[in-house]
């Protein structure tokens, strides 16, 4: 397999480390390198005469945190899975997945493992419940979705709360795993689910986290922080990145508290293997905490190839974290998928 390597220079690492110390939230930035892992798949497709759809190359990446298996989305050419940290890939979706990932929340893995929902733009959306062996279609509204929250507590037909692409912020709910949908109004900017009956959202042009227990008929503002992307749920806790930092709720979204000093992150959190361990991604890169957010450590910088297009609302760039193998991944539509092995850099 042909690979390309992007080395992080010493001066860049020192600059990142100094910035982290100044912010008071990070320790030393590690040495390491970003390596391209998608070229072998792209070369094989080219040999078969199968070209990726616009804008070319890859578009999304997600990790099963329980196994370290990584999923890579090729534009218009489906979902590919690797169980060896991207050394080899196999297409696993059976052509059930198409199009591209528009945002960093297009792929929604179940924290418990095996299940993954792919909310695609200009192509087929689908969900797997068995690690990619079989797939169930998710019906697209219009061109597809910017992102969606999945209630993974249900089996097999999950509740989904989705944001429809370029629709004026139309929100839609499915109670049968994406087979049928009910539209519930407009002007949504972020979405979340806590169980099948509690909806949470951010609203376009308005500050705050909003909560509904009646399928969006009535909303109550429960916090002044403005959420980004999709609520992440682990057990009885819901975590949401906001304009004021990472927030957590333990009472079904009725009240919220800020988690530690971290601000400015736009992707995450991605859960680890231990209580209080997770990663968020900000302008500096992948920030890990092992103490529930009190302190943070920069484990990987943003890849130079993708860092120029940082978006504070979590758009375009896709990232993933393997806490088992100590690997970070990054992808953006039209760009290659990259890997960073911080666990082999002496950290």
In a domain, 248, yes or no: no
Are 239 and 248 in contact, with CB atoms under 8 Å apart?
yes
Q: Would you say residue 31 has pLDDT above 70? A: no
In a domain, 130, yes or no: yes
Range of the domain at 199: 5-225+316-344
Asked if residue 260 is part of any domain, the answer here is: no
**Buried b vs exposed e over 203-236: b needs ≥16 C-beta within 10 Å?**
beeeebbbbbbeebeebeebbebbbbbbbbbeee
> What's the pTM?
0.88
Asked if the structure places residue 217 within a domain, the reply is yes
Distance (Å, whole) CA 268 – CA 20: 19
Residue 171 lies in a domain: yes
Cβ(145)–Cβ(121) below 8 Å: yes
Kind of pairing between the strands at 237-242 and 232-234:
antiparallel
pLDDT of residue 344: 60
In a domain, 266, yes or no: no
pLDDT on residue 14: 38
Number of H helices, E strands in the chain: 3, 29
The pLDDT, as a whole number, for residue 176 is 94
* Tens-place pLDDT, residues 39-69: 999 999 999 999 999 999 999 999 999 999 9
- pLDDT of 158: 87
d(CA 57, CA 138): 23
Cα 117 to chain centroid, rounded:
11
- Structurally, the chain folds into a number of domains equal to 1
User: What is the average pLDDT score of the chain?
Assistant: 89
CATH classification of the domain holding 325: 2.120.10
- C-beta of residue 61 within 8 angstroms of C-beta of residue 320: yes
Report the percent of the chain where pLDDT is more than 70.
89
pLDDT bin (cut points 50, 70, 90) of residue 255 is very high
Evaluate if residue 247 carries a pLDDT over 70: yes
The Cβ of residue 49 has, within 10 Å, a number of other Cβ atoms equal to 6
Q: What is the pLDDT of residue 29?
A: 39
Q: Which two tokens stand for residue 210?
A: 């909003």
pLDDT in tens, 261-282: 989 999 999 999 998 999 999 9
Planar angle of CA 331, 334, 339, nearest 5 degrees: 25
Phi, psi of 15 (to 5 degrees): -65, -45
Percentage above 90 pLDDT, the chain: 80
pLDDT at 162: 96
Q: What is the pLDDT of residues 162-198, one digit of tens each?
A: 999 988 889 999 999 999 999 999 999 999 999 999 9
Distance CA 145, CA 134 (A): 22
Query: pLDDT band at 28, cuts 50/70/90?
Result: very low
Residue at 13 is within a domain: yes
The strand pair at 267-271 and 285-289 is best described as unpaired
Q: Torsions phi, psi of 270, nearest 5? A: -110, 125
Q: Are 296 and 262 in contact (CB under 8 A)?
A: yes
Domain-located, residue 268: no
Which residues, 6+ apart, have CB-to-CB distance to 200 below 8 Å? 191, 192, 193, 194, 209, 210, 211, 212, 227, 231, 238, 240, 253
Q: Rounded mean pLDDT of 107-111? A: 96
With residue 245 as reference, give the H or E element that holds it: strand 245-249
* Bridge partners, 270 (sequence order): 279
């Amino acid at each position: 397999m042909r690979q390309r390597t992007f080395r992080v220079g010493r001066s860049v690492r020192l600059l990142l480390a100094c910035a982290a110390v100044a912010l008071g939230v990070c320790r030393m930035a590690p040495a390491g390198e970003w390596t391209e892992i998608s070229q072998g798949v792209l070369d094989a497709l080219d040999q078969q005469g199968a070209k990726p759809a616009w804008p070319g190359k890859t578009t999304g990446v997600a990790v099963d945190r329980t196994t370290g298996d990584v999923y890579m989305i090729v534009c218009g050419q489906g979902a590919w899975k690797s169980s060896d940290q991207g050394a080899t890939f196999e297409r696993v979706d059976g052509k059930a997945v198409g199009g591209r990932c528009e945002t960093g929340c297009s792929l929604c893995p179940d924290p418990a493992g095996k299940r993954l929902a792919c909310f695609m733009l200009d192509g087929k959306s689908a969900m797997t419940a068995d690690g990619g062996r079989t797939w169930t279609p998710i019906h697209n509204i219009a061109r597809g979705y910017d992102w969606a929250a999945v209630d993974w507590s249900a089996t097999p037909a999950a509740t989904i709360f989705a944001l429809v692409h370029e629709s004026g912020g139309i929100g839609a709910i499915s109670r049968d795993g994406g087979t049928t949908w009910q539209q519930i109004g407009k002007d949504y900017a972020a979405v979340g689910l806590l169980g099948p009956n509690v909806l949470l959202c951010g609203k376009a042009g308005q500050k705050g986290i909003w909560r509904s227990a009646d399928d969006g008929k009535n909303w109550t503002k429960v916090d002044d922080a403005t959420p980004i992307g999709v609520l992440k749920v682990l057990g009885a806790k819901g975590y949401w990145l906001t304009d004021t930092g990472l927030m957590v709720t333990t009472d079904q979204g009725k009240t919220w508290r800020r988690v530690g000093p971290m601000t400015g992150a736009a992707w995450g959190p991605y859960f680890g293997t231990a209580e209080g361990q997770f990663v968020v991604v900000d302008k500096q890169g992948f920030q890990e905490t092992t103490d529930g957010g009190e302190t943070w450590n920069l484990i990987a910088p943003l890849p130079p190839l993708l860092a120029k297009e940082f978006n504070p609302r979590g758009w375009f760039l896709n990232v993933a974290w393997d806490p088992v193998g100590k690997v970070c991944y990054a992808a953006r539509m039209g760009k290659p998928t990259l890997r960073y092995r911080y666990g082999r850099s002496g950290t």
